[in-house]
Copies of this chain bind each other. A is one copy, B any other.
Amino acid sequence: MSPVAPTERSTLRRRPDRGRYDDDTIAAILDEALICHLGLVDPEGRPFVVPTIHARVGNHLYLHGSPASRALRTAARDVEVCVTVTLVDGLVLARSAFHHSMNYRSVVVYGSATRVEDPAEKVAALAAVVEHVLAGRSDGCRPPSETEVKGTLVLRVPLDEASAKVRTGGPVDDDDDMDVPVWAGHVPLRLVAGEPVADPGITAQWPAYELTRP
Which residues of chain A have a CB within 8 Å of any CB of chain B?
9, 13-14, 34-35, 37-42, 45-51, 53, 66, 68-70, 80-84, 86, 88, 90-91, 93-98, 100, 102, 104, 106, 108, 110, 126-127, 129-130, 133-134, 137-138, 140-145, 148, 152, 170-171, 173, 177-178, 180-199, 201-207, 211
Contacts and interface: CB of A to CB of B under 8 A. Distances in A.
A93 to B, nearest CB: 6
A179 to B, nearest CB: 9
Nearest to A98: B148
A81 to B, nearest CB: 6
Contacts of A143: 96-97
B142 A96 contact: yes
A34 B197 contact: no
B86 A144 contact: no
Contact of A185 (B80, B202, B203): B202
Nearest to A195: B188
Contact of A49 (B35, B108, B145): B108
B110 A46 contact: yes
Contact of A199 (B35, B104, B184, B192): B184
B142 A84 contact: no
A137 B49 CA distance: 30
A189 to B, nearest CB: 5
A102 B64 CA distance: 14
A51 B84 contact: yes
Contacts of A9: 42, 46
B47 A82 contact: yes
B130 A97 contact: yes
B91 A35 contact: no
